[in-house]
Chain A
Amino acid sequence: DIQMTQSPPSLSASVGDRVTITCRASQSIFSYLNWYQQKPGRAPKLLIFAASSLQSGVPSRFSGAGSGTDFTLTISSLQPEDFATYYCQQSYSSFRTFGGGTKVDIK
């Protein structure tokens, strides 16, 4: 199976900060990488698919980059509603796997 490793596991940031979360795959997954946002008590929400494509309705301050084994999710200017946990997920393998998550909280 393909292991997905996110870093950092958590971070503290302020409104307006630029935030970058990293996801590394244990083997090349080309661009088969998705990002989700999850708030407490809520279902995950798709933000980015195919490594860099913004899901409809998602603010443009979210962006994704990378290919192969190394990927990033960037929030250009953190907003109050962005405090949440973020997960990467690979869809290269028919055995889908998620990263362990990155919790973004208020500094």
Chain B
Amino acid sequence: QVQLQESGPGLLKPSGTLSLTCAVSGGSISSNNWWSWVRQPPGKGLEWIGEMYPSGSANYNPSLKSRVTISLDKSKNQFSLNLSSVTAADTAVYYCARDSQMVRGIINYYYMDVWGKGTTVTVSS
């Protein structure tokens, strides 16, 4: 079955750029799914960051949109997150997830059914 694995630096300095990669195994990143990033600050709830479709279409959280880029690398079967101008408020566990779809009649339902284990990113000087 499909598995996801995040990787990237665990410690960043303020004003730097966070770059994470999510490797997809057991399936193709070119399949009809959205590929998402979600984060969770320490002791807090889940925050959706954004997602990308294999066609290149992307959706982003408006509160982060000016700083976020998600990209897909089909040759490596992985997708990436870049978050610029980081501050301590960006300290969190970052998860990648597959946002699958189910078609019921004319309606497409979406749900995040596969998740990576998460990677902790700390922003500190």
Chain A residues engaging chain B, CB cutoff 8 angstroms: 1, 30-32, 34, 36, 38, 42-46, 49-50, 53, 55, 87, 89, 91, 94-101
Contact = CB atoms under 8 A, between A and B. Distances in A.
Interface secondary structure of B, over-half rule: strand
A50 B111 contact: yes
A32 B118 contact: no
Given A50-B104, A95-B59, A43 B48 contact: no
Contacts of B102: 49-50, 53
Contacts of A30: 107
Interface residues of B, number: 24
Q: Is the interface of A mostly helix, strand, loop or mixed?
A: loop
Interface string B98-125: 0100101001011111011110000000
B73 interface: no
B45 interface: yes
B111 A46 contact: yes
A90 B35 CA distance: 16
B62 A91 contact: no
Contact of A1 (B62, B109, B118): B62
